[in-house]
């Protein structure tokens, strides 16, 4: 069933509590270096304000470990949001307590208040499973969530980046607001549309590209995709675990020896399912893990003392060829150490191949995180179909996991 969104409810004269993902990057002086996450929340924010709602925004930023840390304050976000909206955004110096409550009560239609960082409180990140096993923790989490819930008449979830987490603001707050409207924002709606519809009814050939450091991070994804896609392209350091599982020397490359049997099993399962798995045929190797380190291209085995840091030029060509005829593409994870030259070439090649396939009619979904960073860095944002705002969330979605905080939202009739 589709979830109700802000477009399905009347917000006029109502207090609306909206969970955003304002976990923006800050420099050493606490200046925002990318406002992308704020900008992507604007459609939902503006719809609520234009509808006459009084809007209370909440989010986390960074990992302050349950205590106040002014270097992770959301105040810079309030200032930037004010600039983007062209109107003042109020700021509460706490997310609960007297100041937040008073400022929320004083809000009128068309006004905005941003609460301080939710993660200044340990209650925000207490895992629901742990809380169920510990009555004291359960009580603390519930009391924290209730204070947030009491501020509003409507709950809106537009934070896909944390949709896979059972944080208090994501799951316990809407539980506390049972009987009141609990809906998705437009960003969540877009994520569910692209990710959900793509996995449910993809146009074929359907190609998945998986990269990154560890096979262990992607086991669930591979297992789920084997029966959904026509081809899985594997790059990044995780490829070396598959190489070693096949008896190939990988030198000093990152390799998860505890997952060699699992890698072998995954290859066997893919073969049985008729899913082609494409591994790199060459690697760019170096003896040092640093930018512009002395390097060379090797085909096959990697000798001791050398480590693979990127896929090689033949792999670039191979992967691009597999993507050329694709009609649906999902990409999660870089092909190498894309932050450092010259080990960014493989990720660039794949990004350009994805953009080229998109230009020819393919639907391409970039799964957040490093893949999204690479696409952005290369200026290809407008040349792919969709860039997910949640790296970890999109990964768990590709695994086929259910998100409790989305299931709790109201269904469309």
CB atoms within 10 A of CB 172: 27
Handedness of CA 77, 82, 85, 90 (dihedral sign): positive
3-state secondary structure of 216: coil
Half-sphere exposure (Cβ direction) of 187: Cα atoms closer than 13 Å: 28
Q: Of 116, 182, 195, which is closest to residue 152 (Cα–Cα)?
A: 182
Catalytic residue among 214, 327, 377, 404: 214
Pairing relationship of beta strands 295-299 and 282-286 according to DSSP bridges: antiparallel
Whether 37 is catalytic is yes
Handedness of CA 170, 176, 178, 181 (dihedral sign): negative
Whether 391 is catalytic is no
Half-sphere exposure (Cβ direction) of 262: Cα atoms closer than 13 Å: 17
Report yes or no: 217 and 211 within 8 Å, Cβ to Cβ. no
Structure tokens of 21?
């993902």
Q: List the strands of the sheet with 282-286, edge to edge.
A: 295-299, 282-286, 307-311
Catalytic residue among 62, 66, 110, 392: 392
Catalytic residue among 3, 37, 80, 244: 37
Catalytic residue among 367, 369, 390, 391: 369
Whether 204 is catalytic is no
Whether 369 is catalytic is yes
Structure tokens of 150?
């009491």
Catalytic center residues: 37, 214, 369, 392
């Amino acid at each position: 069933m589709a979830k109700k969104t802000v477009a399905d409810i009347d917000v006029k004269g109502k207090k609306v509590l909206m969970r955003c993902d304002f976990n923006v990057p800050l420099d050493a002086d606490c200046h925002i270096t990318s406002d992308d996450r704020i900008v992507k929340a604007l459609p939902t924010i503006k719809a609520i304000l234009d509808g006459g709602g009084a809007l209370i925004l909440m989010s986390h930023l960074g990992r302050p470990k349950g205590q106040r840390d002014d270097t992770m304050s959301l105040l810079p976000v309030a200032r930037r949001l004010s600039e983007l909206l062209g109107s003042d955004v109020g700021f509460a110096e706490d997310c609960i307590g007297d100041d937040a409550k008073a400022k929320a009560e004083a809000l009128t239609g068309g006004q905005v208040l941003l609460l301080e960082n939710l993660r200044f409180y340990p209650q925000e990140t207490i895992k629901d499973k742990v809380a169920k096993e510990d009555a004291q923790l359960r009580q603390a989490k519930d009391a924290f969530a209730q204070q947030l819930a009491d501020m509003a008449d409507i709950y809106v979830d537009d934070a896909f980046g944390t949709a896979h987490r059972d944080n208090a603001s994501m799951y316990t707050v809407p539980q506390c607001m049972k009987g009141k409207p609990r809906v998705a924002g437009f960003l969540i709606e877009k994520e569910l549309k692209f990710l959900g519809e793509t996995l449910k009814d993809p146009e074929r050939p359907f190609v998945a590209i998986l990269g990154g450091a560890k096979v262990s991070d992607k086991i669930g994804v591979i297992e789920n995709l084997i029966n959904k896609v026509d081809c899985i392209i594997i790059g990044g350091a995780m490829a070396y675990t598959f190489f070693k599982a096949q008896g190939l020397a990988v030198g000093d490359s990152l390799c998860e020896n505890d997952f060699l049997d699992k890698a072998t099993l995954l290859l066997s399962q893919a073969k049985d399912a008729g899913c082609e798995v494409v591994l790199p045929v060459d690697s760019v190797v170096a003896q040092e893990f640093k930018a512009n380190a002395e390097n060379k291209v090797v085909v096959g085995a990697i000798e001791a003392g050398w480590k693979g840091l990127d896929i090689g030029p033949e792999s670039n060509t191979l992967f691009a060829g597999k993507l050329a005829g694709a009609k649906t593409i999902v990409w999660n994870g870089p092909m190498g150490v894309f932050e450092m030259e010259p080990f960014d070439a493989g990720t660039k090649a794949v990004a350009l191949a994805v953009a080229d396939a998109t230009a020819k009619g393919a639907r391409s979904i970039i799964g957040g995180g490093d893949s999204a960073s690479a696409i952005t860095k290369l200026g290809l944002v407008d040349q792919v179909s969709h860039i997910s705002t949640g790296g970890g969330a999109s990964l768990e979605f590709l695994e086929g996991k259910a998100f409790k905080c989305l299931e709790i939202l109201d269904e469309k009739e």
